[in-house]
Chains A and B, each alone.
Chain A
């Protein structure tokens, strides 16, 4: 009985009617498999980041490096302790402080500008000075941002204000409260 059934099925597959019937029976299965596979790959693709946008993190890390490190902040010469939030104006006035303490080996990297200002009670802002990290890149990238250029050839910028103490000597005898504005530009890549 079983043998005859197999034979019949096999025979059916070889004639025209059998072939169509066989195709109809399996068409849904084939279609379903294709849809399921496609859906699976699309779903997986949603959770794979082929392009990771690190510009914002890079800008934040650089800004934090400037405000936390001894590049501009006051450092006790005896204990080497860094007083974050207290700007050493001697370092600030030496225009190479940022470039000598934060070094990158390749040219196309983030750039920064740090400004010191003070707002009086009448609301007038008085700018003292500024210092750059990688000034050549700053000039190039800032021009691109000002021109409104977007895309891979251009750059993005963050601006942050921090209230700090400006120390004019290491012993903190002469100081003033001021605002440190950190502007970081990272190239769009």
Chain B
């Protein structure tokens, strides 16, 4: 009864306009709330769950480049890469690479499926090798069905005696077992 009376006079009209604007405002707030709910997890995890795999793979490449070569212990693997690149024969590098990365299976509880090394000069690929830590006949997607296969790479440059840069790129495939490292 009172409501009807209010809606008929000027004050009542104002109040009705107020009501719709408030309703719209509340709806917009709810929309923002929903958007915030969807983005809140990202904001938290981006800050604290930054994965360190990239650091690990850079360490692996660095360790390989600086380690003494199996074919000539007076030289490091980096020096052997330069030498092989000048001779256009990468057999020594391949031998060391396959021995060095053999048996490296895990990073942050995630299984590693493949190591691949590309050697390039002036952006032109000269050679490429693979090491597969998984037993022959099995691949990551067969062993870990439904899990995301990630690819990360580490890269470095070594100058040769003619001032040309030899690029060494190590690509690693691994399976992401858990989105969050710790539960």
Contacts and interface: CB of A to CB of B under 8 A. Distances in A.
Interface of B: 2-3, 6, 11, 15, 18-19, 22, 25-26, 29-30, 32-33, 36-37, 40, 43-44, 47-50, 52, 55-56, 59-60, 62-64, 66-68, 70, 73, 99-109, 112, 135, 181-183
Contact of B68 (A36, A55, A56, A165): A165
B59 A43 contact: no
A153 B38 CA distance: 31
Given A47-B43, A123-B135, A173-B73, A161 B62 contact: no
B100 A177 contact: yes
Contact of A83 (B32, B50, B66, B181): B66
Q: Which 7 A-B pairs have the closest CB atoms?
A: A85-B63, A119-B103, A165-B67, A46-B40, A156-B182, A161-B104, A32-B22
Contacts of B108: 158-160
Nearest to A25: B15
B52 A64 contact: yes
Given A56-B49, A161-B105, 13 more contacts: A21-B6, A25-B6, A28-B19, A32-B22, A39-B33, A60-B52, A85-B63, A158-B109, A159-B106, A162-B56, A163-B104, A177-B99, A179-B104
A163 B6 contact: no
Interface residues of A, number: 56
Q: Is chain A's interface secondary structure helix, strand, loop, or mixed overall?
A: mixed
Contact of A163 (B29, B37, B60): B60
A165 B64 CA distance: 9
A162 B63 contact: yes
A150 interface: yes
Contact of A67 (B26, B29, B59, B67): B59
Interface of A: 17, 20-21, 24-25, 28-29, 31-32, 35-36, 39, 42-43, 46-47, 49, 52-57, 59-60, 64, 67-68, 83-86, 117-119, 121, 123, 125, 150, 156-165, 172-173, 175, 177, 179, 181, 188
Given A21-B6, A56-B49, A60-B52, A35 B26 contact: yes
B26 to A, nearest CB: 6
A46 B106 CA distance: 35
B73 A175 contact: yes
Given A21-B6, A36-B29, A162-B59, A86 B109 contact: no
B100 A181 contact: no
Nearest to B35: A43
Nearest to A87: B63
Contacts of B32: 39, 43
A150 to B, nearest CB: 7
Contact of A84 (B29, B47, B50, B59): B59
Contact of B29 (A35, A47, A68, A175): A35
B64 to A, nearest CB: 7
B31 to A, nearest CB: 11
Given A35-B29, A43-B36, A175-B68, A84 B60 contact: no
Contact of B66 (A31, A86, A175, A188): A86
